[in-house]
Structure 1
Amino acid sequence: MTLNDPVLVDLLKKAYSAEKAAAFAYQGHANSVKNKLEKSAIHQIEVDEWNHRTEVLEIMHQYNIPVSKWYELRFYLIGKIISASCYVIGRFMPFYFAGRLESGNVCEYFRIKQFFNSLNITAHDTILYEMGIKEKEHEIYFLEVIKNDKLLPFFEKLFAWGGQSFNNIDLNKKYPVEESDHYCKK
């Protein structure tokens, strides 16, 4: 089967490659922290990102969607640059920007699910829902680590993330998969 929705196809290609950037970034982030519990948690998040990449590729294969060489190169470079920067920008910023990035990534998977649903395709609902929820868990982890940092209020004003999320998901009041279209509506 082929998808005739260029926006959905591009979202899948971008999601696949962006997961590589995230995984590379978390390699540097994990290696730059001293706290063993933080190092372990960040490493697990890296593993989650590699798993998401595998899941997205499986979906792409079902629709004969090729991997974008441009996105692969672009996100490879982005991931490696972010990874290296974690060693020089201090402790707060890697946690802050990881949380901010994850906050936006949550909606990526719910939007992909909504695009598939608009084509009457529901076969991927569960995995896309699970990946979106996992990204939310990542967001919450990173915010929890820095919630009492004195830099947070300044960065919240500057970059519009912290007390306010970029998504409307509350893990304490989750909608089931079938009702998750309430998430990430623009």
Structure 2
Amino acid sequence: MQIDHPELTDLLKQAYSAEKAAAFAYQGHAASVKDPQEKKDIHQIEIDEWGHRAEVLKIMQQYSIPISKFYEFRFHVIGKIISGSCFVIGWFMPFYFAGRLESGNVCEYFRMKQFFNSLGIKEHDKILYEMGIKEKEHEVYFLQQIKNNKLLPYFEKLFKWGIIESMNNIDLDKKYPVEESDHYCKK
């Protein structure tokens, strides 16, 4: 079965490739930190990203959506550059930008769910919801690591993400079930 929704198919292609970039970035991030618990936590997030990539691929294959060679190349390069930069930009910036990235990724999965629902397709609701929530958990993890850092207020003002600002409207303490999650990430 094929779907006629160019925005959804492009979002799936981008998400598939961007998950590889994120996983590569977390490889470098984990290798660059000294704290064993941070290494372990970041490695687990990398594993989660590879899992998301596999789930997105299953959905793409179900609808005969091809992998974008352009996105694969682009995000491969981006991921490797970010991975290497973690060794030279200090401790704070990899945590900050990982959190900001995850904050935006949350909405990718909720938008996919909304797009599928607009086509009358509900079978992917649970997995897309779970991946969106997992991205939110990643965002919260990274923010917790830097919440007391003196650089955070300056970065938040400049890059519009931190304690006060998020790129999504999900509160893990007041999480709605999948059936009631339609108001998440509405533009």
Query: TM range, normalised to the smaller chain?
Result: over 0.9
Aligned residue in 2 for 1:167: 168
Q: What residue in structure 2 maps to residue 23 of structure 1? A: 23
Q: Structure 2: which amino acid aligns with 1:50?
A: W
Describe how 1:94-109 pairs up with structure 2 within 5 A: 94-109=94-109
What stretches of structure 1 of length at least 5 have no aligned partner? none
The offset of 1:119, in angstroms, is 0.2
Question: Aligned partner of 1:177: which letter?
Answer: V
- Report the 3-state secondary structure (helix = DSSP H, G, I; strand = E; otherwise coil) of the residue aligned with 1:113: helix
What TM-score, normalized by structure 1, do the two folds share?
Answer: 1.00
Runs of 4 or more above 4 Å deviation: none
1:50 Cα deviation after fit: 0.1
The residue aligned with 1:46 is 46
Q: How does 1:92-171 map to 2 (within 5 A)?
A: 92-163=92-163, 164-171=165-172
Q: What CA RMSD, in Å, does the superposition of the two structures yield over aligned residues?
A: 0.4
Distance 2:61 2:103 in 1: 27
Number of matched residues?
Answer: 186
Q: Specify every segment of 5 or more residues in structure 2 that has no aligned partner in the other structure, as ranges.
A: none
Residue of structure 2 equivalent to 1:85: 85
Per-residue CA deviation, residues 131-173 of structure 1 (Å, 9 max, x unaligned), is 0000000000000000000100110111010021110000011
Number of the residue aligned with 2:177: 176
Distance 1:78 1:64 in 2: 26
**With structure 2 as the length reference, what TM-score do the two structures score?**
0.99
| Aligned partner letter, 1:108 | E
The one-letter amino acid paired with 1:40 is K
Output the CA distance in 2 between the equivalents of 1:93 and 1:76. 20
Partners of 2:5 and 2:161 lie apart in 1 by 31
